Amino acid sequence: MRRRRGRISRVLTLIAGLLGGAVAALVAACLLATWIITLVVEARYPPAGRRVAVEGGHLAVIEAGPGEGAPSRGTVVLLHGASANAMDPMLAIGRRLAGDGFRVLSFDRPGFGYSDRIAPDAASPAVQARLIGEALAAMKVGPALIVGHSWSGALATAIALDHPERVAGLALLAPVSHPWPGGGVGGYAGWYRSLPGRILLTIATYTVAAPLGYTWLDRFAEAVFRPQGLPAGYLDGARVPLVLRPSTFAANLRDLDGLYGFLQRQSPRYREITAPTVIVAGDSDPVVKTDVHARALAREVPGAKLVVVPGVGHMLQYVAADTVVAEIEALAARERAGAGAE
């Protein structure tokens, strides 16, 4: 009996050693794959604009249209949503607005694209608002039309509330603006708020996230565009794979994690917004519910105009670009008329 137990013990020890070695080999392979994917992605999508110094680091910005000091119809600042970068809104509407005579500045938010994360608390839209404001001041940009999509609905409204001198008008596209049902502990993005969840996601960020993301990125993008289809060339044109880099992937998770609590604090302040505001949303948005966010925001921001596009989902800056551009141009005209009346 002792001999049998001894043999069983040795077999179990051997199996544990083999499994441990296999796990270690798998982790090493995933780390290597993540490193290679990061190098490939950054080689394929190098910096496309310039970096602007702010306190603690730099923000990257892509520019189009008339340059500094040249005549223009106004300055438009584009702020991208989650899992994206400055090229996303530039590809969708930025170049078109530039062709219409606007100076367009599209920022990589802190930690995305080629912007530094800068601050430990940079997940807060209020901190990102301060950094964007510093960059605009460094670029000598006066009050601008601030265009925020999705997550950046919270950022754009934070700029309007905390730095109103930077804002000539607000265009909010499918904006996240309010705490949403089920968004607290255990709700959307809440599954990784526990300590085990955070540990597992940290490990995944540096091992399997990039290889799996690279394989399934088109399917993730298709889900965001529903009920419309994924435009041809979107992933490459919008440089979406940049989000797979571990530092950006981690920043994206932290931004999502802190958003609900931030909106609990900010949303009671929307009646303080004084900038002319237009809100554009699709009535079929499966990602950011229009009734919870856009309609509620339109009721609370004084004088806000709400445009709900029938049958359109979350990525309306692509699938309803004509409507979005027309509303931004109307907002610019409204702002100029208001300035001329003063």
Question: Which mean pLDDT values do the consecutive 10-residue runs of the chain (342 residues) have?
Answer: 52 45 71 92 96 97 88 94 98 97 98 96 97 97 96 98 98 97 58 68 87 92 96 97 96 92 97 98 97 98 98 98 98 79 54
Nearest one of 48, 301, 278 to 145, comparing CA atoms: 278
Assess contact for 135 and 167: CB atoms under 8 A: no
Considering the entire predicted model, what is its pTM?
0.91
Confidence at residue 342, expressed as pLDDT on a 0 to 100 scale: 54
Nearest one of 274, 169, 192, 217 to 41, comparing CA atoms: 217
Residues contacting residue 254 through CB under 8 Å, at least 6 positions apart? 123
- CA 99, 320, 44, 255 dihedral sign is positive
Confidence at residue 19, expressed as pLDDT on a 0 to 100 scale: 44
Element (H, E) at 336: helix 321-341
Confidence at residue 171, expressed as pLDDT on a 0 to 100 scale: 98
Confidence at residue 335, expressed as pLDDT on a 0 to 100 scale: 79
Q: H helices within 139-266, ranges in order?
A: 152-162, 195-205, 209-225, 234-237, 246-266
Confidence at residue 12, expressed as pLDDT on a 0 to 100 scale: 41
Nearest one of 164, 172, 81, 89 to 129, comparing CA atoms: 164
- The total of other beta-carbon atoms located within 10 Å of residue 55's CB is 9
CA distance 14 to 182: 47
At 90, list the tokens.
Answer: 């530039």
